[in-house]
Structure formats: structure tokens, C-alpha cells
Amino acid sequence: MSVNQIMFILFASIIVIFSILTVSSKRILRSALYLLFVLVSTAGLYFMMNYNFLAAVQITLYAGGIVVLIIFSVLLTSRINDRFASVKPAKAISTVIVTAIGAFVSISSILQHNFVPAAGVEPISTDVKMVGMQLLGYGTNGYALPFEVISVLLLASMIGAIIIAKKKLD
């Protein structure tokens, strides 16, 4: 077994175990922490694929941004002794069945697919320069339009948030 395989198994098992714990934990802040572990391990998978830029984006946006936001809102709203109510048995059993079917369908379709290593195809460079050129390029493979549309959307939501949060001046 090579180092890469060991690392993959480590990351994959962290992702699986903590994903389940995230949805099954009864304390909301613990769920947030388990979610952090899942997101950081996903970044580890990107590092293994040598896609460093995406891994750093994953850590900054999801682990450093979204999880911090979730924790902030939990800190403002919940108390340390708060617990979720227990799930009714019927509901729990139906959830398990639905998840098992979903897992079976996706795993079996992945296992049946015959993966062949791509031959004669140049691997795409993933360094920051290429990513930046493509993101702001308007020729072939350029993403300038979606990029600008998303920035307008973000600006609109930012202004909306400020207007909602602003106190009435009277």
C-alpha cells in the first residue's frame, strides 16, 4: 500500500464518520465542529490531487468562512445545555432506509463504471495563473460573464443585508 492510498483511506474515513456524526449529533455546536473536520478533510483530498488552489479556497471559504458564521450564529442563539429532541423510531427507521437506498444506488453505479486512465490527453495545469486567466477570460473556456454575474449577485445581497440590519433613523 502506498502513502497516497493510506492518506486517501484516512481522509475518506474521516469524511464518512464525521459526516454521519454531523447529522446525528444532538448538540448543535458539536455538529458545526464535525462539519469543520469534514470540510478540512475534503481540502486534504484536493491537496492530494495537487489542486492546491481549490484546496486553499475550500479551507478559506468553507472552514474559515461558513463554519465560523455557523458558530457565530450558534453562539448568539443557543445555550450550552440545549439538546435536540430525540427522533421518533418510525422516523429514524424510514431515514435509515432512504439513506441506505441512496447509498446503494450511488455506490453500485460507481462500482459498475469501468474507469480507464485517459490516454493521450494533456493534464490540465491547475496553477493560479491558469485559473485566474480562465476565470477572467472571455475567449474559449473563459468564465468572465458568470464571474461578473456572481459579483453583481453578491453586491446585491450585501446591500440587502446592510439595509435589513440598518437601524431606522427617527
Partner 1 sequence: MNFSFYDFTGFTQSIDQALKASMSPFWAVTIELVLVGVSILAFYALLGLFLVYWERKVCAMMQNRLGPNRVGPRGFLQTIADLIKLLLKELIFIKNADKLLFNIAPFIVIIASFMAIAAIPFAKGLHAMDFDIGIFYILAVSSLGVVGILIGGWSSNNKYSLIGAMRSGAQIVSYELSVGLTLLSVVVLAGTMQLSEIVESQRDAWWIMKGHIPVWIAFVIFLIASTAETNRGPFDLAEAESELTAGFHTEYSGIKFAFFFLAEYMNMFIVASMATTVFLGGWMPLHFWGLTGFNEIMDFIPPFIWFFAKVFFVIFVMMWFKWTFPRLRIDQLLQLEWKYLLPLSLVNLLIIAFIAMMGWHF
| Chain residues that interact with partner 1, rule: CB under 8 A | 1-3, 27, 29-30, 33, 36, 40, 52-53, 56-57, 59-60, 63-65, 67-68, 71-72, 74-76, 80-81, 127-128
> DSSP state, 147?
H
105, 63 contact by CB (below 8 A): no
Of the CA atoms within 13 Å of residue 85, those in its CB half-sphere come to 4
Of 116 and 162, which CB lies nearer to partner 1 in the complex structure?
Answer: 162
Rounded least distance, CB 133 to partner 1, Å: 13
Of 27 and 48, which CB lies nearer to partner 1 in the complex structure?
Answer: 27
Rounded least distance, CB 170 to partner 1, Å: 22
Rounded least distance, CB 101 to partner 1, Å: 32
Of 81 and 112, which CB lies nearer to partner 1 in the complex structure?
Answer: 81
Of 49 and 98, which CB lies nearer to partner 1 in the complex structure?
Answer: 49
Alpha helix stretches (DSSP H) within 25-141 = 28-48, 52-57, 67-77, 89-112, 128-136
Of 28 and 142, which CB lies nearer to partner 1 in the complex structure?
Answer: 28
Please tell me the distance from the alpha carbon of residue 143 to that of residue 64, in angstroms, as a whole number.
Answer: 25
Rounded least distance, CB 104 to partner 1, Å: 32
Residues 6+ apart with CB under 8 A from 15: 38, 41, 42, 45
Find the helix or strand (DSSP H, E) in which 7 lies. helix 3-24
Rounded least distance, CB 135 to partner 1, Å: 14
Count, residues in the chain? 170
